[in-house]
Structure 1
Amino acid sequence: MDLQFRVFAHISKPVAEVFEAVADPDQLSHYFTTGGARGRLETGATVTWDFHDFPGAFPVQVIEVVPNERIVLEWKANDDSGAPYNTRVTMSFEATDDGRTLVAIEEGGWRETDAGLKSAFGNCMGWSQMLCALKVWVEHGLNLREGMYR
């Protein structure tokens, strides 16, 4: 069994605006990384993300960025059952015929252990929340996660 998932949402804004809301650390810090994001998502960069529910900034390796199409990241799996390892996150951005953007997020690479399964489910919840928060931020300028974890 390959532990992976895919979540998606339609955002009622053009793809360039939605992509920028993810790639730009200032915007990302307003609706997703509740403790802040440092560094723009660009191919080859290592940025840091911090969340109030998982305190302490941690590194995110940016594997590939294709503007307005795809962002590929790797980060340490939240699985302490053995040697550390990374999972891979792929975000895709697709313009739809009605002017909206379809954003899909896939993550995979967990070990087939109870801890790996628990981590995968936790991240699936987190990415689903990210898509909801992204939608509300880009469409209405509101921070859905404000005060959620404090």
Structure 2
Amino acid sequence: MDLKFRVFATISKPVHEVFEAVADPAQLSQYFTTGGARGRLEEGATVTWDFHDFPGAFPVYVGEVVPDERIVLEWKANEPGADGPDYNTTVTMSFRPVDGDPARTLVEIAEEGWHETEAGLQASYGNCMGWSQMLAALKVWIEHGINLREGMYK
């Protein structure tokens, strides 16, 4: 069993605007990282993200950035109560115009690398839910200026 998933959403904004809404910590903090993001998503950087539902800032390692196309991150697998040493999973975010329409962007987020255990499976489900929420929050933030996560985890 290979524990991985892919979620996606179409956002009615140009690729560059959508990419920047993810890469720029000031924007990411407005709709996703409810406790704040520190550091721009740039290749080789280690940034921190904080969430009210998972308090305490934690590191996110930026492995690859292709502007307006792809961001590859690594972060600690969240396996509460799991035995064994800590390990990272890999998150790949892809951005591309929808059917050649420069005003619409398809964002795909894939995550992989969990240990093939019950704890790994449960952790993957939690992250799948989180990335689905992120895409929904990104869409309504960038299209309508609404923060879906406001007050959700306080």
Give the TM-score range, shorter chain. Answer: over 0.9
Is 2:89 the partner of 1:87?
Answer: yes
Which of the residues 96, 120, 123 maps onto 2:124? 120
CA RMSD of aligned residues (A): 0.6
Cα deviations by residue, 1:21-71 (Å, 9 ceiling, x for unpaired) = 000000000000000000000000000000000000000000000000000
Q: Partners in 1 of 2:34 and 2:40 — Cα distance?
A: 16
Q: Partners in 2 of 1:145 and 1:82 — Cα distance?
A: 33
Measured after TM superposition, the shift of residue 82 of structure 1 is: 1.5
Q: Give the 5 Å matches for 1:31-110.
A: 31-79=31-79, 80-96=82-98, 97-98=100-101, 99-110=103-114
Q: Hey, which bits of structure 1, 4+ residues long, moved more than 2 A?
A: none
Q: Partners in 2 of 1:9 and 1:59 — Cα distance?
A: 26
TM-score normalised over the length of structure 1: 0.98
SS class of match (1:81) = coil
- Aligned pair count reads 150
1:95 corresponds to which letter in structure 2?
P
Structure 1: gaps of 5 or more residues: none
Measured after TM superposition, the shift of residue 81 of structure 1 is: 2.5
Q: Partners in 2 of 1:149 and 1:7 — Cα distance?
A: 22
TM-score normalised over the length of structure 2: 0.96
Measured after TM superposition, the shift of residue 142 of structure 1 is: 1.1
Identity of aligned residues (%): 78
Q: Partners in 2 of 1:141 and 1:72 — Cα distance?
A: 26
Is 2:138 the partner of 1:134?
Answer: yes
